[in-house]
């Protein structure tokens, strides 16, 4: 099929390359010239395992190209809208400016029978409003809402082999032909049995926000248990293992620590609360405010723990933060718990050095006042405390004895509960996990 992908950020770039991998002819379109130049030369503008290889392969095969000119979308039958929906400044609600701009600049190039597929995460009701707009500007195009569930760090695999497809379609005949078109796009994964659910627009939009809210709730639940474990002298890791063995609960997303960050979970739960308020259903989501509060409290908690381990004050202490990205295998620092805790420590008088294998240049752009050092050993040297906040495999593999020879004081906080506490203690470290005795 001939496909256009509007918006080549995280979602769009991965989607465009993956659709070419499925055998389609794809053009990716973005207003950012620098991004398009990078992508055209087969480089990903962000760190994502497997993406550079996929870009190079698809560009070489002639099935993938990029452009800044919306007119290049005119030859496509299916148009995926993959632009961002960030949190509005000073508000909880999502900023739909980029979605609206994408639809209005695409509309003049739409042909009868074209299918427009919304993939961005949007407040419920957006698809119906956009479909109404298309009725006027491109009456013979059909809108489908097809949310994306990819995780950063696993984006290519998640796009090519998702858990499920969700299609939000209009009622009646146009819906049927749009389903057929999208089935053709996803023929390969569908042929291997990937489930596909066809629902109305509002349900499709809600599947995405409900899924992210559930995941955020699961993380804040276990972090709340970590607080209780701290108060009671219990171990949240053993607790998570034990409750996770009940398959109604499941062990995934029960890792207590410094909490969730990134470009999705925090802003999606806030936008969901804002939208529920507009719909008069705010009471249904007041628990999400608590989910957010518990999550933000984790960052403060890790700062307090660092202060305690440094003897009650951070003034004049050298603190090394292991990890800047909001999670490993990503260079994304949006709403990163690690950087937010690091900035709080610096404000309390610590000299903070942040290290990360991939995210330092993004981190510097957001928190220029912090110290940065790309080489782990250099970052660790002469520290009074190490604080692991992103569980990159290189930090999980640190040898407590080797590291012990570099620091001024052997204090470590494992903000992701991934280190072997016994091994660190045996090597003479003062070791603290989160929610662990
Ligand atoms: C999330 C959803 O998982 C994905 O389906 C959706 O499409 C986009 O949002 P992503 O933001 O890439 O994906 O990261 P995810 O792996 O979900 O992690 C989010 C945050 O939660 C990270 O900061 C991670 O460190 C944290 N987390 C995750 C925990 O603190 N504990 C856990 O047990 C799991």
pLDDT per residue as tens digits for the range 139-189: 999 999 999 999 999 999 999 999 999 999 998 888 899 999 999 999 999
**Ligand 1 touching residue 226 (CB < 6 A):** no
- How many angstroms separate the alpha carbon of residue 216 from the centre of ligand 1? 8
Please identify which of the residues 8, 82, 229, 264 carries the catalytic annotation: 264
Which CATH architecture best describes the domain 200-437? 3-Layer(aba) Sandwich (3.40)
Does ligand 1 lie within 6 Å of residue 253's CB atom? yes
Per-residue pLDDT of 196-222, as tens digits, reads 999 999 999 999 999 999 999 999 999
What CA–CA distance (Å, rounded) separates 319 from 315?
10
What is the Cα Rg of the chain in Å? 23
What are φ and ψ of residue 101, in 5° steps?
-65, -40
Contact 39, 70 (CB under 8 A): no
Neighbours of 181 (CB within 10 A): 18
Q: What is the pLDDT of residues 50-76, one digit of tens each?
A: 999 999 999 999 999 999 999 999 999
Ligand 1, residues 146, 155, 215, 389: which to mutate, most atoms within 8 A of Cβ? 215
Q: Which residues pair with 412 in a beta bridge?
A: 386, 431
Question: CA-CA distances (angstroms) from residue 87 to 123, 276, 329?
Answer: 11, 15, 24
Q: Could you tell me if the CB of 207 is within 6 A of ligand 1?
A: no
Give me the percent of the chain exceeding a pLDDT of 90.
99
Are residues 409 and 382 in contact, defined by beta-carbon separation less than 8 angstroms?
no
Residue 204 contacts residue 168 (beta carbons within 8 Å): yes
Q: Which atom of ligand 1 is nearest to the CA of 390?
A: 25
2-197 and 200-437: identical CATH topology: yes
Is residue 287 pLDDT above 90, yes or no? yes
Residue 261 CB neighbours (<10 A): 24
The predicted model scores a pTM of 0.97
Q: Is 435 in the pocket of ligand 1 (CB under 6 A)?
A: no
Known binding residue 334? Answer is: yes
Domain 2-197 CATH (choose: 3.40.605.10, 3.40.190.80, 3.40.50.720, 3.30.420.10): 3.40.50.720
Q: Ligand 1 test: best mutation among 220, 264, 338, 359, most atoms within 8 Å of CB?
A: 264
**How far apart (Å, rounded) are the C-alpha atoms in residues 148 and 251?**
23
- What is the predicted pLDDT for the residue at 289? 98
- Contact partners, residue 108, CB within 8 Å, separation at least 6: 137, 138
ipTM: 0.98
3-state secondary structure of 414: strand
> What's the 406 CA to ligand 1 centre distance in angstroms?
33
Nearest CA to ligand 1 atom 17: 151
Residue 173, pLDDT score? 81
User: Angle at Cα 281 formed by Cα 279 and Cα 286, nearest 5°?
Assistant: 130
Contact of 339 with 366, CB cutoff 8 Å: yes
Domains of the chain, residue spans? 2-197, 200-437
| φ/ψ (deg, to 5) at 359 | -100, 5
Query: Which residue among 11, 262, 338 has the greatest number of ligand 1 atoms within 8 angstroms of its CB, and so is best to mutate?
Result: 262
Signed CA dihedral, 15, 17, 23, 27: sign only: positive
The residue among 40, 69, 52 whose CA lies nearest residue 14 is 52
Give tens-digit pLDDT for 8-19.
Answer: 999 999 999 999
**Active site includes 264?**
yes
Ligand 1 atom with minimal separation from the 252 CA: 33
Say if CB 116 and CB 95 are below 8 A apart: no
In angstroms, the CA 168 to CA 159 distance is 18
326 in contact with ligand 1, CB cutoff 6 A: yes
Residue bearing the CA closest to ligand 1, atom 5 = 149
For residue 75, how far is its CA from the centre of ligand 1 (angstroms)? 36
First to last CA, the chain: 57
Helix (DSSP H) and strand (DSSP E) numbers for the chain: 18, 14
């Amino acid at each position: 099929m001939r496909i256009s992908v509007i918006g080549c950020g995280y979602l769009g770039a991965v989607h465009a390359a993956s659709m070419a991998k499925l055998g389609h002819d794809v053009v990716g379109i973005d207003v950012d010239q620098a991004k398009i130049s990078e992508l055209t030369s087969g480089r990903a503008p962000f760190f994502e395992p497997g993406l550079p290889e996929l870009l190079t392969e698809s560009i070489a095969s002639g099935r993938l190209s990029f452009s800044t000119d919306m007119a290049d979308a005119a030859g496509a039958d299916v148009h995926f809208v993959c632009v961002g929906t960030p949190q509005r400044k000073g508000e909880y609600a999502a900023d739909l400016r980029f979605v609206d701009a994408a639809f209005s600049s695409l509309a003049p190039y739409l042909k009868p029978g074209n299918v427009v597929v919304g993939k961005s995460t949007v407040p419920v009701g957006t698809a119906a409003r956009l479909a109404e707009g298309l009725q006027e500007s491109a009456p013979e195009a059909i809108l489908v809402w097809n949310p994306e569930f990819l995780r950063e760090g696993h984006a290519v695999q998640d796009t090519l082999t998702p858990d499920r497809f969700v299609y939000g379609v209009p009622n009646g005949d146009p819906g049927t032909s749009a389903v057929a078109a999208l089935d053709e796009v996803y023929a390969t994964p569908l042929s291997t049995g990937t489930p596909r659910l066809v629902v109305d627009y509002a349900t499709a939009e809600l599947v995405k926000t409900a899924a992210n809210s559930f995941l955020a709730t699961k993380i804040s639940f276990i972090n709340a248990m970590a607080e209780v474990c701290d108060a009671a002298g219990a171990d949240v890791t053993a607790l998570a293992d034990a409750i996770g063995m009940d398959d109604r609960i499941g062990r995934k997303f029960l890792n207590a620590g410094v909490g969730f960050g990134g470009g999705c979970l925090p802003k999606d739960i806030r936008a969901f609360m804002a939208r529920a308020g507009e719909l008069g259903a705010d009471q249904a989501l007041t628990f999400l405010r608590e989910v957010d509060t518990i999550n933000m409290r984790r960052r403060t908690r890790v700062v307090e723990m660092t202060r305690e381990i440094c003897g009650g004050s951070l003034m004049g202490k050298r603190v090394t933060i292991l990890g800047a990205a909001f999670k490993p295998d990503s260079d994304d620092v949006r709403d990163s718990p690690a950087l937010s805790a690091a900035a709080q420590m610096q404000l309390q008088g610590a000299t903070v050095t942040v290290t990360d294998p991939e995210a330092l240049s993004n981190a510097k752009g957001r928190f220029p006042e912090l110290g940065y050092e790309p080489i782990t050993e250099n970052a660790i040297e002469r520290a009074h405390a190490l604080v692991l906040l992103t569980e990159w495999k290189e930090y999980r593999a640190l040898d407590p004895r080797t590291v012990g020879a570099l620091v001024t004081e052997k204090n470590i906080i494992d903000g992701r509960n991934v280190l072997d506490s016994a091994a660190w203690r045996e090597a003479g470290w003062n070791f603290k996990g989160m929610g662990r005795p």
